[in-house]
Structure 1
Amino acid sequence: MAFVLLLWLHLLLLLLLVIVFVPHLPPCEAQQSYVNNLQLNCDQNPNTTLGFVCNGASTSCTSYLTFRSTPIYNNPVNIAYLLNADASQIAAANNISDIDTLPTDTLLIVPLNCSCSGPNNNRYYQHNASYTLNLQGETYFTVSNDTYQALTTYQSMEAQNSYNLCRLVPGLRLNVPLRCACPTPNQTAADYRYLLTYLIRQGNSVDSIAGDFSGAGADVQGILDANELTPDQIIYFFTPLLVPLTTPPTRLNINTRPSPPPPASPPLILTTPSAQTGGGSDSRKWVFIGVGIGAAVVVLFASRFAIWFFFLRRHKAPFPPKQLADESGGVTTARPLPNWSVSSESIRGALETLALYKFEELEKATESFSESNRINGSSVYRGSFKGDNAVVKIMKGDVTREIGVLRQINHSHILRFSGFCLHQGITYLVYEYAEKGSLTDWLRPPNSIIMVQHNKRNLNDEQRLDWKQRVQIVYDVGDALNYLHNFTNPPYIHKNLKSSNILLTISGYVNEYASSGVSWIIDTFSDSVMSVCLTKTEIIAGSVDGTVRTFDIRIGRELSDDLGQPVNCISLSNDGNCVLASCLDSTLRLLDRSAGELLQEYKGHTCKVTSVSYHPKDECMVTASVDGTIKVWKT
């Protein structure tokens, strides 16, 4: 009898343990661990800050994230450039056009592709974007938390970029791994098909977030399980939260209510009310503890980060050695602005300086793309915009790179690019109008009558080009090519030079070079080009990443030599067999071009070398540095 009573007592105790502890155990095969404000600790790299681990049913999937519009990133095109997303998909998901200007702080749904990245034993889901530093003082911390709105972390950016924090300078291009994830088998079995990365706002709770996305299938328990949260666990303001969904989120099935106004004494972090409805002392206790601990953590790490950054302490982390970039090392610096959140002047941010046309405007300007406005049977149409003539070029496919190229070109003899329009997957580029047509129209036999279609006028013998005008055109074309080859960064090579791409203007028949023909961009550089040399058939370039690359223009071949240090300037020997490169560490390195071997290393300068050149007979080399020192070296 005593044995039976003892057995019953053990069973009751076991049952009590199950009742008490099982509800607090993390769910089996939960999606990810919540970041829990650990991204503020810049001295450690816990796995939760590096990304969402690859534990889903698929290594690649369609995912979603939320983004709030800013004064710069205020339309789908700009936001797509920042996030490496598709502007038309952003527009469709949010029920807007791809050029609509949005009020600041508008919530947007951004579709993107999410995939696993990293070594087999340490793989994370991510969507890859890139960002070019524009201001002195930008860091991994500011880029991840301000520009990218905590959709990535300081730790993950540092892990996936090779630059030391203390040597980040304008002109460097950074990899930006955006946090995303794919559903696990358990989530798929529960009919969740998509995961959305949501940035927690002040006033949010798990309940309110589930309510906002309930139209797309979100619920409280699904969010808790996806982030390994318990009902009474704290969530923090400005941290990402995974929201499992059964259907794709759109503006039509989510609640996009504005953020609530901040309370009179706003806390530094956000707490989430527990699922209990009693509102007892336990719930209030967790709120007070969370606010106190969170405030202390934020203040502690903010002060540590400020002190650390002020003294430029070298950061020690278990990652490969960082490459260095000199703050005064020839990288183009941007104009300083008071706040980095509205100061980006990269291609992405600068697109607001271009005209973003509506399709209706193009239809009106070109008379619905009528044949009478079509130029020589091409995909280019003449148009009139408020009395100003322009041409509209229709292009299919991805023209992101071409827009970025044209945006940067500024030369009096290269046709000016004024703006573009995206409509139903087709891009329309708008250029200034060359009144005299193309050079082809003027090079016909003297006795023929030439009809220039887009000017609708006949050219007689008196309107032919004289010898002086022809020489001027040749000179202008050479001037434009010299600009493209030597004064753009990276260098641009035009592989479609022909008379139809040389356009003539009204005044004195001075030519405008058709920049729409820029068809080859040397884009294999991971960083800014510092110096370029030209031969008859090759381009030799040195860049910030420490690589000297040789491009054979005839066959498109590329050769590269890694010097391990950012290259300031380069020079060719007169016979073309050797390259002399000056590096950031003030050394000079002589390379054999054919074998790619280091022939000699010269040391002597104490400051950065800004100029290198060979004596005409290659008997010596002359170098100059920023401190005014000039040295002559025997070869």
Structure 2
Amino acid sequence: MAQQNYSGAAIYRCNGNEATTPSESLYTCNGQFSSGRAFLIFTAKSPYVTVAAIANLTLSDQAEISRINNITTSRVLPEGQEVVVPVECSCSGRSYQATITYQIQPGETYFLIADNTFKGLSTCDELKHANTYRETSLLAGQKLRVPLRKRSITTSPPLPPPVSLKSKPKRAPLIVGITAGAFFLLISLLVLLFLSWKKRAQVADEIKKATRNFGSRSRIKDHEYRGTFKREVLAVKKNSGNAEYEVKMLYKINHFNIVRLHGFCQDKDDLYLVYEYMANGSLRDWLNRRGSQHTKSWYQRMRIALDVANGLLYLHNFANPAYVHNNVKSSNVLLDGNLRAKITNFSLAKEANCSDTKRIVGTRGYMAPECLGAGPVTPEVDVYAFGVVLLELITDEFPVIEQDGGGRLLSTSVAALMESLNAETDLCSFIAYGLAGNGGTKYALQVVKLSLSCLTQDPSDRPDMIEVVSILQKMYSIIHTPH
């Protein structure tokens, strides 16, 4: 429930101009409990290269650090080794955080402390916000309050130490032992296979029951169905292809603006993927709905745009490894009951900058020019497609406009319109119904300029998602009241 928000590169800056609020990069305090255990990754660096030094710096328990990482308290760690450190987080204002005390060393500044000792755990702006010292008055020996923030992780119990064989056993007992062990292992494997098969059959039956055997009344569209699992409504996607890569990827990432995978089940030739249910369907469906234009305000449209941008920002800059969605389009953006947007369908996703000899994938109207040739899959592909989604959001038009028995790209039409002498007037008649009034044309011009920068032919000239989020965040803050 405590979803971390992302503010792009602003969290690394310390000039006071870009970051909005320190809590923007923290976990929102909206969970069931006001405090709880969390884990952070600390990278060993002199003088913090022992369990005692790290525990003292982070106000953590030495014994817990030793147990979790399977290292002794006296061991000197090599610089660069990552150490899992348990900390206690509690509500501080609107955010969960753990706060520790740090003694300033000679010559250190807020930036050096954030970038060296606490790189990735705290930021320059957060240090400034938590302390009353000015940058120019930092002195050696002063104590700073340091708010820590880091993605939660789960840890496995440490493995037992390897057994040391000091003497050679006799040959006959060894053969008997190996034979008995192999037989026991075979029996255990057969039992596990049977239990696994039985469990899969039970889960498949549960999915069929929840979706009324994939009946028409449960169908959302195509091969997607709605099902009720223990009073929770979820979406089930029936997939006959290989979704192993998508499943593995979704299990490694977690973000509010990415549709969550609850689980999956293999049943003969079918693979069932169970996702969170999005009550308002796809963005494309929402834009198509007529008669409800009064609900499609600038506020809602810009919040949707910012949601999608934040999801892509996470994939490109914060997921490890970084990913490219490779099929961004309005039908792959889903809306929940509160019209919050989440990205779905990662069947074509790739690790960023991986080589791909078969790049001609995607949907007409959204594909960047470089997709027509072989080469690395880069985040700029998603940036281009997002530019098209922005145009859909303000025009309600399809990415390919049908006219005179043919089709013209929405992006081409808008680009041509912006080159006319009466661009602002022409745009006013092109944007969606009800958006022109109350300064709406001004907003539309800003969105179109951002969109066309994303649609630049040369990938290197396109903005990255950090810049896109920054621009949309400023626009969204201006349009903060629903119309």
* Normalised-by-shorter TM-score class: 0.3 to 0.5
- Tell which has more relative contact order, 1 or 2 (C-alpha 8 A, sep 6+): 2
**What is the TM-score of this pair, normalised by structure 1?**
0.28
More strand by share: 1
Which has the greater radius of gyration? 1
